[in-house]
Amino acid sequence: MKVAGRDVLATWKVLISLGVAPVVYSFYAFLVTAVTVKAGVPWKWRLCMPFLTLTALPIMNYAALKFGEAGVDVLKWIHLRSP
Write down the pLDDT at residue 18: 86
Range of the domain at 27: 6-81
Give domain status of residue 47, yes or no: yes
Domain total in the chain:
1
- Is 1 contained in some domain? no
pLDDT tens sequence across 10-54: 787 788 888 998 999 999 999 999 999 999 999 999 999 999 999
CA distance 83 to 70: 22
Residue 17 lies in a domain: yes
Does residue 26 lie within any of the structural domains? yes
pLDDT tens digit sequence for 44-83: 999 999 999 999 999 998 999 899 999 988 988 888 887 6
Alpha-carbon torsion, ordered 51, 54, 57, 63, to 10 deg: -90
Asked if residue 56 is part of any domain, the answer here is yes
What CA–CA distance (Å, rounded) separates 52 from 36?
13
In a domain, 77, yes or no: yes
